[in-house]
Amino acid sequence: MEPLVTVAIAAYNVEKYLNEGMEYILNQTYKNIEILLVDDGSTDNTPQMCDAIAEKDKRIHVIHKENGGLGSARNVGIDYAHGEYLYFFDVDDSLDKEFIADSVKIALEKKVDLIVFGYYARFSNETNEELISLTEKEIHSNEELKQIYINELLWMKHGNGFAWNKFYKMDFLKKHNFHFGNQRIQQDEPFNMQLYPKLENVFICGRAYYHYVLYVNANAGSRYLPNKAEIIEDVYRKFMDFYREWNIDNKKVLEYIQTRFVKGMFGVITSNFYHKLCPFSNKEREVKIKEIFSNPELKKCVDSVNISYGKNPINYLQGWAFANQKVRLLMWMIELKRILKRI
């Protein structure tokens, strides 16, 4: 008998994409699937649309919950899944109809706990897709997986931390009780970092099935979150724990982790603290910036990596002020850049 595959879909205010997105799952050539459609406390027509879609196909099960973020919605998918395999899909993207059938075939033939795929990517204001491919490889050694992660997976353009370019075996997830964190952004990569040190049997697929849309001006970096600095630091610490647990000991990887942390904190100051929804006065911003600069881990990372902030004089001065902890100069440069944008 064909194994059951659970497709978990987190849905939050996706009325614009939901009907079309669901078709990519309902039209899969592999039919033995259950679809867990998790409405994460949507405030638009998503809840009613989920219920209407479920009435048309008995494989769809709708779960309504209070808003808790993408990670919490995906955790519902993990906890309610009955399938032997689990796949996470985002309805604002698209998927080739052979994906699940081919994934099941690979998983059974290769006897693996995880399949990793390349993908196609395009920006929402463009039509041409770019293929982000991987070198096909069957792996049955954690050490071999580590070397492939260090040399290829970590450096995929647009990233490899996503949940949607992976096909998971449920027994493996349940054995280790793997779940997503509760942070509002950057949920996928820490989730997958839990898996890698425990994995032995993995297949890296040379074919891409997923079509990823990068929405211009709608990414996590443009959102205001009151606790964004805490999230960025938490993800950095999880990255460092992962680095140590897996005994990576690679200078290039360490610089990647440190650079990511520095750029994340720079973005918190220059974007999040000056977001239109941020309630801070200038005095409060100054206090918050000083708090960030007092972080010894951030200072260590700034001193360890060489980051280019751009050739534009204002961007360069912003970066210099940040790296040298010149709070007032940094605030002046941010304000000047904002004024020039309005002219």
Among 189, 214, 239, the domain-final residue is: 214
Tokens coding 26: 């309902």
φ/ψ of residue 159, rounded to 5: 105, 165
Domain boundary among 214, 248, 268: 214
C-alpha neighbours within 13 Å on the C-beta side of residue 246: 27
* Amino acid at the residue 309: Y
Whole-number pLDDT of residue 1: 83
In this predicted structure, the answer to whether residue 343 has a pLDDT above a threshold of 80 is no
Instruction: Kindly report, residue by residue over 168-217, the tens digit of the pLDDT.
Output: 999 999 999 999 998 888 999 999 999 999 999 999 999 999 999 998 86
Where is pLDDT greater, at 342 or 5?
5
Report the pLDDT averaged over residues 316-336: 94
* pLDDT-derived band at 220, boundaries 50, 70, 90: low
- Quick one: pLDDT band at residue 72, thresholds 50, 70, 90? very high
Phi, psi (deg, nearest 5) at residue 167: -125, 115
CA-CA distance, 53 to 87, in Å (whole number)? Answer: 19
In which domain, by residue range, is 335 found?
A: 220-342
The CA distance from 143 to 157, in Å, is 23
Statement to judge: residues 246 and 264 lie in one domain: yes
- Taking the C-alpha atoms of residue 334 and residue 78, their distance in angstroms, rounded to an integer, is 43
Same domain, 50 and 162: yes
- For residue 10, with 0-12 CB atoms within 10 Å meaning exposed, 13-18 middle and 19 or more buried, which class applies? buried
| Domain finish residue from 145, 179, 214 | 214
DSSP classification of residue 279: -
Domain total for the chain? 2
Name the one residue in this structure whose structure tokens are 């709070």: 327
Query: pLDDT tens digits for 77-134?
Result: 999 999 999 999 999 999 999 999 999 999 999 999 999 999 999 999 999 999 999 9
185, 48: one domain: yes
Say how far apart CA 261 and CA 210 lie, in whole Å.
28
Q: Count of CB atoms within 10 A of residue 130's CB?
A: 14
Q: pLDDT band for position 20 (50/70/90)?
A: very high
Q: Inform me whether the pLDDT recorded for 69 exceeds 80.
A: yes
Judgement on whether residues 22 and 103 belong to the same structural domain of the protein: yes
Q: What is the C-alpha to C-alpha distance for residues 43 and 146, in angstroms, rounded to an integer?
A: 42
Task: Compute the chain's Rg from CA coordinates.
Answer: 21
Same domain, 74 and 165: yes
Closest CA to 138 of 65, 205, 222: 205
Q: Is the predicted pLDDT of residue 219 greater than 80, yes or no? A: no
Regarding whether 198 and 279 lie in a shared domain, the answer is: no
Q: Measured between alpha carbons, how far is 11 from 47 in angstroms, rounded to an integer?
A: 9
Question: DSSP alpha helices (H): ranges in 34-124?
Answer: 46-54, 70-80, 99-110
**Alpha-carbon dihedral 69, 75, 81, 86, rounded to 10 degrees:** 90
The answer on 172 and 41 residing in a single domain is yes
The pLDDT, as a whole number, for residue 239 is 97
Do both 258 and 179 map to the same domain?
no
Average pLDDT over residues 304-310: 86
- Segment 147-168 mean pLDDT: 96
Asked if 190 and 294 sit in the same domain, the reply is no
Q: SS3 of 305, please?
A: coil
Do residue 235 and residue 209 come from a single domain? no
Q: Is 121 exposed, middle or buried (0-12, 13-18, 19+ CB in 10 A)?
A: buried
User: 85 with 167: CB under 8 angstroms?
Assistant: yes
One domain for residues 98 and 232: no
Q: Are 149 and 137 in contact (CB under 8 A)?
A: no
Q: What span, in angstroms and rounded, lies between the C-alpha atoms of 161 and 263? A: 17
What is the average pLDDT across 284-313? 93
Residue of 119, 96, 94, 116 lying closest to 106 (CA atoms): 116
Residue 208 and residue 238 share a domain: no
**Average pLDDT of the chain to the nearest whole number:** 95
Distance CA(213)–CA(123), nearest Å, equals 6
CATH number of the domain that residue 102 is part of:
3.90.550.10
